Structure formats: structure tokens, C-alpha cells
Structure 1
């Protein structure tokens, strides 16, 4: 009998301990396209600004537990964001291009849905369009990630508590406006951070996008003005919304989608700036964790690597500090050059050199050899006398802007394998309740399963 009571006591203690270990608050950060080297290059760059060899630590990369994960899709070694997002959201592999479905087109629910069914509040946000592949994997079920309007309809029907990012890709189709549909489902629209601050306390559910007087898409961090949304503003508003009148906890997915876009454009400085911005938003989750250390889990990972970026291109040294002289993205440089081209009276080589100096520091802060200047001059003639362009997944750039970008990257010591995704490992960094459970080499489908178990979500 005595043994029975001892065993009973141990069981009770084990049950209480298990419950105590459940994560009430879960932050799930996904750096789209952010492979191991995107993190490494950023830390090396930050150290170079201090004039030293080594790394300057990003806060999330210093989490006490770190490992790496595979990212392949069910049908391809190199995944797209839809299949990778589905894996990270649902724990199921699928074909590239498919959202929230298995490879044989069976709809499967995501960890966000499991959290909502378990009584938690849910937030899904990004700094790209809110119906893009990665965020959509957490609320939509589609055979094709390009079904933007149906994806938006499923977002409205999800019942999740908070969404943020750039506005819908295709808000109106067949006379149906997704803004109205979302409002009919109880969502309050907030256009910009100030409007969100005024509305979040009274809103039952909130969608925050760019101000109406700003470009619809949130700009890259390097191009951002004070009127544009930042990742930190998105996360701050989300924490406020998800903590309001909430005793049960939350699940909050945050995607740094612009990292992927910058890597498709093989734009090193633009990538670095967006990794730093991603880190700034994670700092808010770290501050939250410090206030709720026994109830919070933070997971930082990526859906795939983009571009195959490498710190090094031959010589055994880097000059990453040269990148600090880039003041805008290659997309923005293209727009400057296009404005010059429209004004046929202002297209001299000196005019072009002024733009490249202002944008990349070339000729003034980054010295060029005669052959390097000749290469740019040839690109200038091809771009202005003809129409030479470079296309990537998200933009079409002037071949001259691209050539200048490549030159700066090369002088800094940066190499790129491609302008597309790679099959490289992605990082996994964790802190908080259950963080030690992410260990060994992981498959991306393991991550939502481990997270749901730590949080006690009912499937």
C-alpha cells in the first residue's frame, strides 16, 4: 500500500511537472530564405563595422539551444516557400506550390489552427503580402499558392485574432472585395502603425497593413521611411492584441519575408539590413520572455535558404565594411536610373556615376580600377542605348544597377550561387519552455510537432 501511494504521488508530481512545462506563449519566427550563411554574413558585417575580425552577435543566434533542419519538399530536393511553409505549419511534406495540403491534395490543419482549437489567441504576420506562401500555409488550403483571392477568403474565415503585413496581392476578384469580406468576419482594418495604436484596444480582431498614402508593399528596411511599417511595430501590435483579455495564451507566427526577396535579388546589403530588422523584432519577444520566463517559448527558424550566399570569394579576407556605403536596394537604384533615362537630357556618364556613388558608394567611398569602371560604362551603354535588364522572382532591375551591385558584393568578398532557392540546411534557434527539445539534425516537419507538444495543443 505504501508503494502504491508513492507511485501515485510520483505520477501526480509528473503530471504537475508536465503541465508546468507547457508553453503558454509561443513565438514562431520564420526568416524566409534565411539560411545559416545569411545569419553568419550579418554577424560578420556587424563586426567589420567595429574594425575587427569575428562576429557581432545577433540576439536570436545566441539562444541557448541551436541546431539545423532539412528543407526539401516531397517532390523536389530544393523546396519553394509554399511546401516549406506547409511543412513548418502542419508537420506534413507536400509538393512545391501547394499550401496546407499533403502531396495527394488532402487538406491538413496547421499549428495555428491547433492553437486556436486549444483556446489560444493566434497571430499571423509578415513584412510581405499577407496572402504570400509562408503566412498562407498557416491558414489556407490550396493546390496552388497563386490562388491569391481564395487564399484571402480563407484568411478571413480562419477566425485568427491578428494579421499584419502588406495588403492582399489580389484584393478584388469577380466583384468580391477581400477588405469587405474581412470586415464582415469581424476584422478591423488598421492602415499604418498609428492607426493600429488607436484601434487595437477596441478591435475584436485586427488586420494591420501599410498607410493608404504609402506604397502598398512594405519596402525593404534599407529603403524604408518613418511612414512605413517596421517588423518591430508589427510584433509590438501583435503582442498587444494577443495579450488583451487573454488568460489562455497565444501562438504568434512572424515571418521576415523580405529577406527572401533581397536574396532573390542577390543584394547583400539589403539582405543584411532585413536580417537586422528581423532580429530587432525578435528582441521584443525576448523582452516578453524575460517577463514570462516559465511560460514562454521562442522558436526562430527558416523555410529554406535563398541565393546560396557565401562570405568569401577567393582571397582569405573580407571587406564587408564596404557594404555600409550602399544606401538603398538595387530595386531603388533601378528606379533612379529609369528616372534619368526618361529625361533624355540627363543621361551622361557623369550623371550615372553620381547615382552609383550615392547608392553604392562606388567611385567615391569604394575605389574602382580602370577595368571595373569600364565594365560599368559598358553596362551603362547597354542599359541606356538598349534596354538591358535583369529579372529575378520579385523584380526586374536595370542591368547597370545589377552590375554595380555585383561589383560592390565582389569587392566586399560576397559570393552568390544563384538568384533562387538552395537545398541548404536552415538554422533552428530556441529559448524558453521546452527549448532543449529541439536537438540533433531535424527535418522541418519535426518543428511544428515538437512545438505543439510543448504547448499542449490539441490536434
Structure 2
């Protein structure tokens, strides 16, 4: 009798353990999304409603919330490839490595473990599919800038779904030689390429594996910033919806899906707070899509939200005991599009653009003077830049990692940060903590401060990957 009780207890415990396994895993990574990027977004949303405080993002309401360290094997400040590799494999590596350790040995990723366990696997991003963070889940290359070689690793993975803006170097190798286009290579490996959501829906039924990217006429291999979104543009929430529909098609074994909000980082590199906060909101909207799926499968779904590192050294407050994030609501577009508008104005009226025309542009695009009074010093900063770049025609573009900016647009961005009282320590990554949020099956594993290498290990444990 006692033996029978032990057997029954073992069966019950085994059943309970199995029931806790995550059949469906969503792994969201906000590139560059430190603690202040999240907190600032919630304060920005509250000020939008006319009050002081926070308006919670969905993912910050998850029952588990903690923080993680991000250093790489070679430096206290990581780059996206080393951080992506840590988040994908659970192993620290040198800055620049994609899916390889310090000795350039290939590392197994949590996505590869999921595939080995019989799950369907998806990798999605708002930037290019061959960029550092998504690449860290499927590729194995010694340097993140080997975009063509990274893209060649895509079909080798055998993963089921990829999505993003496009590919950075589809016909050029790392040593700058012309090479066969990556697209026919991907198609010959059994992937259907869909350009835009409409084409994806038309090809969904017959596709065995899928690569979803922007429409043929897209200006860039990355998605537009959320603040610049136009009707018909591919979005991260749409990508997430498409990924779920594809990974659940003819599949009852579960899936693993990594989704990167990649342009949070890009906006932070540009020190553009309004664009940063809108990118965080955009990723939260993608999380909402996953959360709707979670509500249908609450005992089998795990959602984890984190970041690879913080970018820009964002501070909420610049000396005074106050902020004015509501000012950012008057910014209609990203610094990138403002820069383009200024360049276009210069080309339309070479040597003849007046200060009043510049003021009109900044009033319409940034709310300056019309909605936001400027100090004498702030107006002088803008006027001096106008005199240098338009009157004297000495145009020195400001360069950050992902953009070249008209000097007057850079000055306008600085003025907006001053008005909003958002500070920046620089234009690159920092070693700050990043947030970790989790809900669902196995989310109890994500408690207590941790290192970023722990996150994929705990996902694998929650899902039962070997």
C-alpha cells in the first residue's frame, strides 16, 4: 500500500511538473531599453493624460519584475552582439561576436534548443533580420558586421519564421565583394519570402517556412520609427501577429518566438527622447499581441520581456526637481525625418532659406515658439546653427551609430531634451541594469537580480529544452 502511495505521489508530482512547462515561449528584447527608458515612457504616458505619475505599460504589470546585469566577457559595457549572444546562449563572449564564445567556438542558442525539442521557432525584429540581436539566435559568426555571412546562416538554422525590415547587405560580403543575392538562396532552402502583410496573408497557406520583410519599395532595410509610421508600413505588432499565425499553423507541439524592439536603441543613440518613448510603446503593443495569445493558453505560455543593454545614459531630470515630458507630445517626427526635411529645404532654396522659414519648420515639426516657449539661450543655439550651416554654408553633419544628422536638427533635438528635462550622458551604450518582466508558465523562475546569461537558461528550464 505504501509503495502504491509513493508511485501515485511520483505520478502526481511528475504531472504537476509537466503542467508547468511552457509550451509557447515569447522572448521580447528591447534593444537599448534600460530602466529609465521604461520608467520615462510610463511618465510620458501619464503627462499625456495631464497628470503626474505613471501610466503602466502592459509588460510592467506582469507579476514578476526584476533586473539583470549586462557586461560582456571583455568589457563592463557590452555591445548588442555580445549581449544578444548572452541572451540567446547563456554564455558571455567578446564584443562583436555572434553566437560564438571567446575562443570563437559555436554556441547553441535557446532557439536551437527549442527547434531540437520539436518546437516551431521564429525570430523577428523591427530592424534588419541580419542585425546583431536577431542574428545571435540563429547565426554563428566572429563579427557582427559580417551581414552577408550572417544571412547565409539563416537557412542553415532550419527555423520556421523570420521577420524584419529586410537585409543590410544582401549581395555584398564582409570583404566588400559582390556575391549572389541572399534572396534566391533563402528561397532554394524552402523559405517563402513575403513582402508586406498582404503578401504574407496570400502566401500563408502554402508556405512551409516564411521570411516576412517590408514591401519592395521600402526606403530602408529597417522599419520606420513608430513616431514616423505611415499607413501601409509594416509594424512590430503586425509582425508578432503574423509570427503567431504562422507558428501555430498545423502545429500542436508549441513554439519559441524571439521579438526584438530594435529601434529603441537607435533612437537612444540619437538622444531623441520622444522617439525613444514611442518605440517602447510600440514594443509594448507587440507584447499586447502575445498577451492575447497568453490569455487563451495561460497555463502553457511564458512571456519574458528584457533588454540587451541601456543606451545613451538617459536621465529623468536635469538638475531642477521637475520634468516636462508633455513637451514631447509636440514633436511630430523623429530626428531623422526632421533632418531630411531640413536637407530638402536647403536643396529647394540653396543659399536663400530665411531664418523665418526655419522657424516655421521647427514650429510645425517640434512645436517651438508656437506651443513651447524658448529661452534666449535656446533660440540662440538654433539661430547660431542656422547662421553657420545656412548662411555660411558650413554644414557638418552630426554622426551617431545609425544616423547622420543635419546640425540644425541635432540642435533642435538638444533643445527639446532641455525643455523636457531629459538628460543624456552620451551617444552609446552604458553598463546600467536592464529590466526583466515575466508572466505565465515558469515565470516563477525569474525572481531576484540576475545576470543576462541566466535568462535563456531559465527559459530553457521553464520550457523543458535540453
TM-score category (smaller protein): over 0.9
Residue 386 (str. 1) matches residue 394 (str. 2): yes
Residue 428 (str. 1) matches residue 436 (str. 2): yes
Residue 238 (str. 1) matches residue 243 (str. 2): yes
Residue 38 (str. 1) matches residue 42 (str. 2): no
Residue 402 (str. 1) matches residue 406 (str. 2): no
Instruction: Name the residue aligned to 2:181.
Output: 177
Taking structure 1 as reference, are residues 276 and 346 closer, same or farther at Cα in structure 2, changes over 3 Å only?
farther
Q: Deviations over 1:56-101 (max 9, x none)?
A: 0100011000000000000000000000000000010000000101
User: Where do 1:59-458 residues align within 5 Å?
Assistant: 59-173=58-172, 174-216=178-220, 217-342=222-347, 343-344=349-350, 346-384=352-390, 385-458=393-466
Q: Please state whether the residue corresponding to 2:126 is helix, strand or coil.
A: strand
Instruction: Please report how far the alpha carbon of residue 371 of structure 1 lies from its aligned counterpart in structure 2 after TM superposition.
Output: 2.7
Tell me the distance in 2 between the aligned counterparts of 1:289 and 1:78: 34
Q: Deviations over 1:361-416 (max 9, x none)?
A: 11111111233212210011222220122110001101111111111111111001
Tell which deviates more after alignment, 207-216 or 186-195.
207-216
Q: Deviations over 1:14-69 (max 9, x none)?
A: 11111111100000000000011100000000000111110001000110000000
Q: Work out whether residues 330 and 405 of structure 1, in 8 Å CA contact, stay in contact via their aligned partners in 2.
A: yes
Tell me the distance in 2 between the aligned counterparts of 1:85 and 1:187: 24
Instruction: Please report how far the alpha carbon of residue 3 of structure 1 lies from its aligned counterpart in structure 2 after TM superposition.
Output: 2.8
Tell me the distance in 2 between the aligned counterparts of 1:113 and 1:177: 25
Q: Please state whether the residue corresponding to 1:27 is helix, strand or coil.
A: strand
Instruction: Please report how far the alpha carbon of residue 293 of structure 1 lies from its aligned counterpart in structure 2 after TM superposition.
Output: 0.5
Tell me the distance in 2 between the aligned counterparts of 1:152 and 1:372: 46
Tell me the distance in 1 between the aligned counterparts of 2:92 and 2:218: 38
Q: Work out whether residues 31 and 301 of structure 1, in 8 Å CA contact, stay in contact via their aligned partners in 2.
A: yes
What stretches of structure 2 of length at least 5 have no aligned partner?
173-177
Tell me the distance in 2 between the aligned counterparts of 1:283 and 1:4: 48
Q: Please state whether the residue corresponding to 1:122 is helix, strand or coil.
A: strand
Tell which deviates more after alignment, 337-346 or 115-124.
337-346
Q: Work out whether residues 382 and 388 of structure 1, in 8 Å CA contact, stay in contact via their aligned partners in 2.
A: no
Q: Work out whether residues 214 and 227 of structure 1, in 8 Å CA contact, stay in contact via their aligned partners in 2.
A: no
Q: Deviations over 1:186-210 (max 9, x none)?
A: 1111111111111112211111111
Q: Deviations over 1:108-139 (max 9, x none)?
A: 11010000010000000000000000000000
Q: Work out whether residues 46 and 55 of structure 1, in 8 Å CA contact, stay in contact via their aligned partners in 2.
A: yes
Tell me the distance in 1 between the aligned counterparts of 2:217 and 2:197: 13
Point out 4+ residue stretches in structure 1 off by more than 3 angstroms. Answer: none
TM-score, normalised with respect to structure 1: 0.98
Q: Work out whether residues 340 and 346 of structure 1, in 8 Å CA contact, stay in contact via their aligned partners in 2.
A: no
Q: Please state whether the residue corresponding to 1:129 is helix, strand or coil.
A: coil
User: Where do 1:45-64 residues align within 5 Å?
Assistant: 45-64=44-63
Instruction: Please report how far the alpha carbon of residue 346 of structure 1 lies from its aligned counterpart in structure 2 after TM superposition.
Output: 4.3
Instruction: Please report how far the alpha carbon of residue 4 of structure 1 lies from its aligned counterpart in structure 2 after TM superposition.
Output: 2.4
Q: Please state whether the residue corresponding to 1:51 is helix, strand or coil.
A: coil
Q: Deviations over 1:193-248 (max 9, x none)?
A: 11111111221111111111222331111111112111111000000000000010
Q: Work out whether residues 325 and 361 of structure 1, in 8 Å CA contact, stay in contact via their aligned partners in 2.
A: yes
What stretches of structure 1 of length at least 5 have no aligned partner?
none
Instruction: Name the residue aligned to 2:8.
Output: 9
TM-score, normalised with respect to structure 2: 0.97
Tell me the distance in 2 between the aligned counterparts of 1:418 and 1:128: 22
